[in-house]
Amino acid sequence: MKPARRRWMLACPEKPRNARDVMDLVLRSRGLGPDVFPPIDLALLERYLPLRGMEEAAHVTARHIVRGSGILIVGDYDCDGITSAAQLDLFLRDIGHENRRVAIPRRAEGYGVPLRAVEAAEDCRLLVALDCGTLDREAVTAARRKGMDVVVIDHHEVILDRLAPATVLVNPKHPDCPSPFKEFCSAGLTLLFLTRLRRALNGTHGHVPLDGRYLSLAGVGTIADMVPLTGGNRILAGAGLKALNGSAHMPLAQLQKAAGLEKRPVRAGEVAYHMAPRLNAAGRMGDPARAFDLLTAEDPEAARRLAEELGRLNARRQKDVTRILDDIRGRIQEGASGRRTVVLDDPSWNPGLVGIVATKVQQELLYGPVVLLGADHPDAPVFRGSVRSIPGYDVHHALSLCSDLLVQWGGHKMAAGVTLEPDRVEVFARRFEEVAQQAEPDLFVPRGRIDLELAPDLVDRDLYEALLTLEPYGVGNPAPIFLARNVPLEGLRTFGKQGAHLALRDVRSGVPAVYWNGAASWASKGPGGGPRPADVVFRIEWDDYRRCPRLNVVDLFPEGIPLQQSPPPPF
């Protein structure tokens, strides 16, 4: 079984004549004005700082620092939470505040502030929860009863009647938050918070520069958490990438080296696909504190060993993901016809990996909301799992309609975590499917957005370099996709494992192209021999071997592309 073929929509009907036209039309068709697509200028972050609770959080924290209070930092176990905790720990280290401790919960404990960390923090008078805490009533209540102030810096969905009793909550998703930009992740919010904390300290602990160390951590967390790279996130990600490429933070430089990125320019894709998975592998395969230890390491040799350890964990993670996906592939083929959702469980599945697998299920098997559940050990009393949604389908709302069947749940519109008793999986799967059946059918057909038509003979170095100014690419700002009609393509050679990939060339313009995993598709579309005309959907990338731009073929239509007339999908 494979998802239905993507339906393509053309966002801009105008045809460019040169590179400047291309840039103007892409920006216009995406609605990327200066508010959504600001220059990467750190001074512009000031406009995003009117966040509910931000000033109060800074003053509460500054008061405890001046008193010398014990401070407990809790960060979530993913890349966003760990880079947030690393920033605050680094700041306290820089100002000489030694009375601090850090707790990174293991995935087996479930999402949120772990109660055991609060109970063990006898000498702490302040808890700072990063990337968690908004709805963590039990742990936050326990901390308040012990006389602790609690500052929560988070970006998860806010449910007003379930809010934890924090001293102060900083969360742009709170309905009373005046910030016009709601899409910061916690790593970005933490950096903004540190600018206000530094000001609240009013020079009592010297002036700590929030330099490339902090910027690189905030940038990695922002890119890794898949938040839209527009508005303030564009500035944070862009500044973070600049710091990364300048080797501003030694531990991240060691991670880059271990990931084979030492001599390559690091862009958002390298962070998302090579660096962040290594940081996340610590929590998925063992103890997330190992990633925190790397990001706060002061000794280069210790950082090198930790980076290599995370690389080994990531390799194990990749093998386990392949095994789980192969298992699911057989189970879905047995009977997914007509369904809009997938809900599967297996006590042998690692709960730390099922979120990654859920995304692959959507890409390869069934395009719709996916819930995969595993267990911490074969006799565990509950299943824990991950939920992944599709654009336009609010999975947070869907889970709220099933909440009576869940032990614990929380997350975003596009992703969530759940805890479920094994004997309730079947009834939950039925209800979850029933909710999805009430949504519009078109949501469950994958759609693709083409920015504009572009003749291959316009693809040159000038255009490639102009498009680089649109980076960093990611959620909310993907790399532009173009359409060229009736291109005479010549298949040159297959390459890669089992000859899965195909090198091509546009016979008219001579522009090279590559069709990743497209060799079988090309062979099925007609006999070999001379050039074949086709409508080509493509991105533009750099060919290191030829030292020129090339077409990265996304889809191919020898029969002509059947463009849809409905509005293009959101990013």
Q: What is the pLDDT of residues 542-556, one digit of tens each?
A: 998 889 999 999 999
Q: Do 459 and 549 meet the contact criterion of CB atoms below 8 Å apart? A: yes
What's the pLDDT score for residue 528?
A: 60
For Cα atoms 96, 98, 101, give the angle at the middle one, nearest 5 degrees: 135
Q: From CA 53, how far away is CA 182, in angstroms rounded?
A: 14
CATH architecture of 7-34+447-557: Beta Barrel (2.40)
Q: Do 101 and 89 meet the contact criterion of CB atoms below 8 Å apart? A: no
pTM of the model as a whole: 0.91
For residue 117 the two structure tokens come to 């960390």
Q: H helices of 205-249, where?
A: 212-224, 231-245
| pLDDT, one tens digit for every residue, the chain (571 residues) | 567 788 999 999 999 999 999 999 999 888 888 888 999 999 999 999 999 999 999 999 999 999 999 999 999 999 999 999 999 999 999 999 999 999 999 988 878 899 999 999 989 999 999 999 999 999 999 999 999 999 999 999 898 999 999 999 999 999 999 998 999 999 999 999 999 999 999 989 988 899 999 999 999 999 999 899 999 999 999 999 999 999 889 999 999 999 999 888 999 999 999 999 999 999 999 899 999 999 999 999 999 999 999 999 999 999 999 999 999 998 886 545 688 999 999 999 999 999 999 999 998 899 999 999 999 888 889 999 999 999 889 999 999 999 999 998 888 888 899 999 999 999 999 999 999 999 999 899 899 999 999 999 999 999 999 999 999 999 889 999 999 999 999 887 888 888 889 999 999 999 999 999 888 878 777 656 568 899 999 999 999 888 999 999 999 999 899 998 766 666 6
What's the pLDDT score for residue 33?
A: 82
User: Which residues of the chain are in CATH 3.90.1640.30 domains?
Assistant: 44-310
Average pLDDT for the chain: 93
Per CATH, is 336-444 categorized as 3.40.50.620?
A: no
- Say which residues have a Cβ less than 8 Å from residue 322's Cβ, sequence separation at least 6: none
Q: At what angle do helices 79-94 and 212-224 cross, to 10 degrees?
A: 170
Q: From CA 487, how far away is CA 453, in angstroms rounded?
A: 12
What's the pLDDT score for residue 334?
A: 52
Q: From CA 151, how far away is CA 128, in angstroms rounded?
A: 5
Q: From CA 462, how far away is CA 465, in angstroms rounded?
A: 5
Task: List beta partners, residue 417.
Answer: 386, 410
> Given 3.20.20.70, 3.90.1640.30, 3.30.70.20, 3.40.50.1220, which CATH number is that of 44-310?
3.90.1640.30
Q: From CA 303, how far away is CA 305, in angstroms rounded?
A: 5
User: Which residues of the chain are in CATH 3.10.310.30 domains?
Assistant: 336-444
Instruction: List, for residues 501-525, the tens digit of each pLDDT value.
Output: 999 999 999 999 999 988 887 877 7
Instruction: Give the pairing type, strands 447-453 and 7-12.
Output: parallel
Which run of H or of E encompasses 142? helix 137-145
Q: At what angle do helices 276-285 and 250-258 cross, to 10 degrees?
A: 90
What's the pLDDT score for residue 330?
A: 86
User: Which residues of the chain are in CATH 2.40.50.460 domains?
Assistant: 7-34+447-557
C-alpha distances (whole Å) from 379 to each of 262, 321, 409 are 44, 22, 21
Q: From CA 407, how far away is CA 405, in angstroms rounded?
A: 7
Residue 394, CB half-sphere, CA atoms under 13 Å: how many? 7
What is the residue type of 104? Answer: I
Q: From CA 52, how far away is CA 272, in angstroms rounded?
A: 30
What's the pLDDT score for residue 527?
A: 59
